[in-house]
Structure 1
Amino acid sequence: MLTELIDKRKTMLTDSEQHKEKRNELNALASTHARERNQLNGQTRECVDEAQKHKELRDENNKAVQQIKVERNQLNEKANVLFEEIDSYKKEHGAISNSRGIKEIQKRIDKLEMDQQTRVMNTDKERELIDQIKQLKHQIKEQEEELEQNKEIHTKLQEAREFRRAASELHATVTEKAELAQQHHDLMVECYRKADKSREAADEEHRKFVEAQEAADAEHNQFIACQKELRDYDKVIGGIRKKGKKTKVNKEQKAVRQEAEQVFQQFRAGEKLTTDDILLLQRAKLI
């Protein structure tokens, strides 16, 4: 029975070590997934923060576009008023017959420039639009050159040109700000895309972390159960060994007692005792 218990204890000890080793491996794996998850969460936060910065810059540029557009439109309106007066003069004096007025041409230019700024088009289409704008501006220039010969409207023409020049500069700024706003918008979208990707990866690492941690906990519980059974085996085996040792001592004591009684009888019969005989009688507490 004792041998069987010792063998079972050895098997249990092996199982305990295996569960302990597996638990440690799974805890290490869980820690790896936790580090990866935390790193990815950090990347997500960085991407979101960067996206927010681009969003703010986009909104600032869009706000500037709206403000500058108001100023540009005001300047264009002032120029239009003057060009209307010039066109009225042309009609009255037949300066340029059967041709569109400067204001009408400029409105067409403004529309084309707005299309260039806001519409998505291929390279050929954009080049065609730019050519149209150039031709219309050339028409305005031709009319202005003819009108400049008239001293009556020379001052108005110069003033209108100045308003239009200033409006054109603001339009260039509008285009620049709009392009910047679009660039920051595209960067913002890209940052959010990266944030979504790293967030998904972090969620996957967290799932693996939980899975490994739960498996490690299960192995730990198995290890604890094995340790409890080992303690139970130790108690039983220790009890059996103690009982066997006590039985052996009792047998030895009984044999010594029997031998000592024989020597004691010899002593009573008058036989001479040796030193060993005396020591034997002392051990048996007969003297």
Structure 2
Amino acid sequence: MLNDLIEKRKKVLAESEQHKDRRNELNALASKNARERNALNAQTREFVEEAQQHKEQRDQINEEVQALKDQRNEYNDKANVLFEEIEAFKREHGNLRNRGIKELQKQIEHLEFKQQTEVYSTDKERELIEKIKHLKASVKDQEAELEQNKEMRTKLAEAREHRRQASEIHKGVTEKAEVAQQHHDLMVESYRKADKSREEADAAHQRFVEAQEAADEEHKQFIACQKELRDYDKVISGLRKKTRKTRVTKEQKAVRKEAERIFEQFRGGEKLTTDDLLLLQRAKLI
């Protein structure tokens, strides 16, 4: 029975070591996943901060763009008022067959914008250029006619200056709007990266939780094995004590029996050796 218990204890001890090793492996894996999660969370925060910086820059530039647009519109409004006065002067003087300078100028701007932003065949583009050239010539002719009148010449110069200033400001609007769009695109990209790293951090956290829970389960199994080993140790220790006590009792009986035999021989007149005397003393017969 004792040998069976010892063998069972060996198996439990081996199982305990397996649970301990597996627990340590899982704890190391959990720590690795925790480090990855923390690094990804830190990266996410960096991307979000970058996105916020780009958003702030975009918003600030958009405010500047709006301010420039207000200035541009103000100059255009002033120019429109003067061109309306010029058109009114032309109508009063019977020049109704010609389109107004304001209308011609708008048409020129529209065609120039199309030329810059759309793709045309060589023939179509040449045709468009000729049309713009013709319209500009019409504007020049009408302006030349108007410049013969001193008052209209002054208004026309003012209107041109307002248009020029509006055009210069519009260039600034376009440039700043492009920069604002760049910051907007960078903001969107930073938020996209933040979302990606946040998803990876969540996945790493899930792996951390799973590894930690598995490690906790292995630890519970290890503790259970340790308790079972202590129980085996108590039983084995008790059996060993009992076995030793039984063995001592048997030895004592054997010594007593041998001592009684020697004592009877002594009483019969036989001489005792030193070992015989020691044995009799051990058996407490002398």
Name the TM-score class by shorter chain: 0.7 to 0.9
CA contact (8 A) 2:30 2:209 kept: yes
Q: Distance in 1 between matches of 2:210 and 2:237?
A: 41
1:122 Cα offset (Å)? 6.8
Give 1:135-284 correspondences, 5 Å limit: 139-284=138-283
Q: Distance in 1 between matches of 2:32 and 2:176?
A: 46
Stretch of structure 1 that moved more, 30-39 or 231-240: 30-39
TM-score normalised to structure 1 length: 0.85
**Aligned alpha-carbon RMSD (Å):** 2.9
Q: Does 1:43 align with 2:43?
A: yes
Q: Choose from 119, 138, 141 the match for 1:124.
A: 119
Q: Distance in 1 between matches of 2:270 and 2:11?
A: 60
1:109 Cα offset (Å)? 6.2
Q: Distance in 1 between matches of 2:97 and 2:51?
A: 55
1:244 Cα offset (Å)? 0.7
1:106 Cα offset (Å)? 4.2
SS at match of 1:124: coil
Q: Distance in 1 between matches of 2:266 and 2:130?
A: 147
Which aligned segments of 4 or more residues in structure 1 are displaced greater than 6 angstroms? 109-113, 130-133
Aligned AA for 1:40? L
Aligned AA for 1:155? T
Aligned AA for 1:190? E
> Structure 1, residues 6-30: CA drift from partner, whole Å, max 9, x if none?
1111111121111112222222222
CA contact (8 A) 2:111 2:132 kept: no
- Closer, same or farther: CA 25–134 of 1 in aligned 2, 3 Å: farther
Aligned AA for 2:38? N
Which residue in the other structure is 2:11 paired with?
A: 11
Q: Distance in 2 between matches of 1:242 and 1:269?
A: 41
Give 1:20-31 correspondences, 5 Å limit: 20-31=20-31
Percent identical residues: 68
**Structure 2: runs of 5 or more not aligned:** none
Q: Distance in 2 between matches of 1:284 and 1:225?
A: 49
**Structure 1: runs of 5 or more not aligned:** none
